Amino acid sequence: MLDLEVLDTAARAAHRFLVGLADRPVGPRTTPAALRASLGGELPDAGVPATQVIDELARAVDPGLLASAGPRFFGFVIGGALPVAVAADWLTSAWDQNAGLYAAGPAASVVEEVAAGWLLALFGLPADSGVGFVTGCQMANFTCLAAARHAVLRRAGWNVEARGLQGAPRVHIVLSEQAHSTVFAALRLLGLGVETAMRLPADDQGRLRADAVPAALARCDGPTIVCAQLGNVNSGACDDLAAIVAAARRHGAWVHVDGAFGLWAKTAERRRELAHGVETADSWATDAHKWLNVPYDNGIAIVRDAAALHAAMATGGEYLIKGAGDVRDELDWVPEFSRRARGFTVYATLRALGRAGVARLIEGSCTIAERMAERLRTAPGVEILNEVVLNQVLVRFTPPGGGDPDAFTREVVARVQADGTCWLSGSVWRGQAVMRISVTNWATTEADADRSVAAILRAAGS
């Protein structure tokens, strides 16, 4: 007999967690030893009833959960999950479609197709671009750069899918010293090398110096890929894409944009200028699980030359039933084979928000970041190190009685984490220790921002 009581148990546990999310301490309240004690032990010989497993699991993990989905979490660049996205994610699990082939899940395939079209329209990118729904921006960078590698080598008369890189023409990589670590990881995985990439200087906000690009390109004879960025992971700054793409076009180079969260600037009227010229690039990597506030894992790879993405990713197999003609077999657009139908959450979230809702979400985060920066800036001993153009704020603290600002800034970060009102992390910006505030959660209100600023100033003794 089909007993689904366990699903109701899970739904009740989810309700309890989400209702309490805004009030619980934001940081975890446990130790590895305590978690091992409550979760560990021998694998039982006999099974345990499903409802008991879920009940006990929810209780045991609770002290080890970070309230990163909550409204006063400003660490890394995380984002929460809108209720509609969580609901669609639950259904995705219940439906358990293998979103590799149209034949294995027609609805999953068509939902991806529709969501891809909506995303392209939202970002103002070419409507016939190829799109892959991957696990995150790491894989989106990888996927886009695989398409780039295919295209620049094809133009040089080399089929990299058939022959690999052994004996291939050299592929030049030009990027910023501020490129995200996942771009370097993608280059490593693609056999393009990390130390061989040409690293250009960034300006004081972390933007690739566009004026350095033409001279760098002049030193690249042959296939070339330029990696640019929208949304520096520390400062939120965006590269001048119009200038970078113009220089790359003169050289015949491919331009890839890592826009994990920065690409979303394109959706909000007041931030759009930051992404000026982005639509002229060749490929774009972004995340849905950060600023669109869908659950993990959900990243998006977009490539103007859909045929290049297809050539880099498509997989065959005697037993596969490939869709005829105009249907989307998802495995042709991503590195994975069997995979989660992650288009459902993006589809549901975009439909629930609409264009206006997405714009409000993005602009709302930016406005709150500005508000926090303004309130912190006016306190004694507090300095804001970046131009707050997007959702990121870099804060530095000088000890009230004088002393080392680096050590004190790290100390303030640790005190705020221990206090539990909000949670954020530290970083190093241009050689200086900073506190890093990232606003990406749909639920964060001005009151949350003000409470968090008060907690930060308390920790700094300002």
Ligand X SMILES: *Cc1c(COP(=O)(O)O)cnc(C)c1O
Which residues are at the interface with ligand X (CB under 6 A)?
77, 136-138, 180, 182, 231, 233, 258, 260-261, 287, 299
Shortest Å, Cβ 235 to ligand X: 11
414 Cβ contact partners less than 8 Å away, ≥ 6 residues apart: none
Shortest Å, Cβ 407 to ligand X: 27
Q: Rounded CA gap, 315 and 30, in Å?
A: 45
The secondary structure of the chain in percent helix, strand, coil, rounded to multiples of 5, reads 45, 15, 40
Closer to ligand X at the Cβ: 153 or 346? 346
Shortest Å, Cβ 182 to ligand X: 4
Checking phi first, is residue 273 left (phi over 0); if not, alpha (psi -120 to 50) or beta?
Answer: alpha
Shortest Å, Cβ 233 to ligand X: 4
Shortest Å, Cβ 390 to ligand X: 11
**Residue 211 CB-half CA count within 13 A:** 1
Closer to ligand X at the Cβ: 271 or 411? 271
Strands 198-200 and 172-176: parallel
Q: Rounded CA gap, 37 and 118, in Å?
A: 47
Cβ-proximal residue to ligand X, closest one: 136
Q: Rounded CA gap, 240 and 349, in Å?
A: 30
Closer to ligand X at the Cβ: 187 or 260? 260
Contact 202, 178 (CB under 8 A): yes
Closer to ligand X at the Cβ: 172 or 180? 180
Contact 285, 257 (CB under 8 A): yes
Shortest Å, Cβ 76 to ligand X: 7
Shortest Å, Cβ 89 to ligand X: 16
Q: Rounded to the nearest 10 degrees, what angle do helices 50-61 and 5-20 cross at? A: 20
Closer to ligand X at the Cβ: 149 or 180? 180
Closer to ligand X at the Cβ: 233 or 311? 233
Q: Rounded CA gap, 16 and 421, in Å?
A: 19
Closer to ligand X at the Cβ: 258 or 332? 258
